[in-house]
């Protein structure tokens, strides 16, 4: 089961289908309309009573099928952020019942989620994840393996790592006011990058690697700003 970004389900199915040979005995199915997905933020101790399981797993990205309020649910360790919690996947017919079970918890609206993901540094498609950037530039070093068997793009990633060829990096930006995505970022008179996402006084920006310094003071349009490290972004292999 592959959990995709919103709106990228069929696009990824079509892409994967190009690499399946006739004798591979692989069948791709789009389960989007048949499933619902919830993310719970919190530690196992905070969520144990709400989920209703005595022993909650804590190994990142492990998963198991459990019963929550009588609903068959796939319980996945991880939130897609650098925050503890769980992702729940169940049948779409059980969506309302599952939400009602967790009704006492605070529900994030779209704006609150957007602010949280920017504060965390989670890149998103059409913003930070486009054909213009590779995973290492996008701060996804922790999601890449150099020792795994062959996969599409492995040679490019290995070359970038070996020869330190990452020319730009995704960083957080603390702003003294609001700014719009696509606004250029300057250090002095030199353009060193551009803003890709922003909400309130925080944003994400791709910055040229050679220009990056700790707590670098920059200008985003006419706004004073400062580069900051964010929890989800990694700029070197652990």
For the stretch 41-59, pLDDT in tens is 999 999 999 999 988 998 8
Query: Which of 114, 129, 164 is the endpoint of a domain?
Result: 114
Say which CATH number the domain at 40 has.
3.30.1360.120
Percentage of the chain beyond pLDDT 70 is: 100
Report the pLDDT value the prediction gives residue 204, as an integer from 0 to 100.
98
Structure tokens at 133: 């950037």
Query: Which of 78, 99, 114 is the endpoint of a domain?
Result: 114
Report how far residue 170's alpha carbon sits from residue 93's, in angstroms, rounded to the nearest whole number.
Answer: 39
Residue 182 lies in a domain: yes
Residue 234 lies in a domain: no
Number of structural domains (the chain) is 2
For the stretch 158-167, pLDDT in tens is 999 999 999 9
Q: In what order do the strands lie in the sheet with 85-91?
A: 35-41, 85-91, 71-77, 63-68
For the whole model, what pTM was predicted? 0.92
Residue 135 lies in a domain: no
Position 238 pLDDT exceeds 80 = no
Query: What residues contact residue 37 under an 8 Å CB cut-off, 6+ apart?
Result: 3, 87, 88, 89
Of the listed ranges 64-68, 91-95, 144-148, 217-221, the least confidently predicted one is 144-148
Report how far residue 67's alpha carbon sits from residue 119's, in angstroms, rounded to the nearest whole number.
Answer: 33
């Amino acid at each position: 089961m592959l959990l995709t970004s919103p709106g990228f389900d069929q696009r990824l199915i079509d892409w994967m289908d190009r690499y399946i040979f006739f004798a591979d005995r692989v069948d791709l199915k789009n389960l989007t309309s048949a499933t619902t997905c919830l993310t719970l933020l919190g530690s196992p101790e905070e969520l144990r009573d709400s989920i209703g399981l005595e022993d909650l797993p804590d190994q990142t990205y492990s998963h198991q099928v459990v019963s929550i309020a009588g609903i068959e649910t796939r319980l996945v360790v991880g939130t897609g952020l650098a925050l503890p919690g769980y992702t729940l996947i169940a049948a779409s017919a059980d969506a309302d019942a599952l939400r009602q079970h967790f009704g006492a918890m605070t529900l994030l609206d779209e704006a609150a989620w957007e602010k949280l993901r920017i504060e965390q540094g989670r890149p998103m498609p059409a913003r930070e994840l486009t054909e213009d950037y590779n995973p290492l530039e996008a701060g996804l070093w922790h999601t890449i393996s150099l020792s795994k068997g062959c996969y599409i793009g492995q040679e490019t990633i290995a070359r970038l790592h070996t020869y330190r060829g990452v020319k730009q990096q995704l960083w957080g930006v603390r702003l003294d006011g609001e700014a719009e995505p696509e606004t250029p970022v300057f250090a002095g008179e030199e353009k060193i990058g551009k803003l890709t996402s922003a909400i309130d006084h925080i944003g994400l920006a791709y910055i040229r690697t050679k220009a990056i310094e700790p707590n670098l003071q920059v200008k985003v349009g006419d706004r004073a700003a400062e580069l900051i490290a964010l929890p989800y972004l990694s700029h070197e292999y652990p």
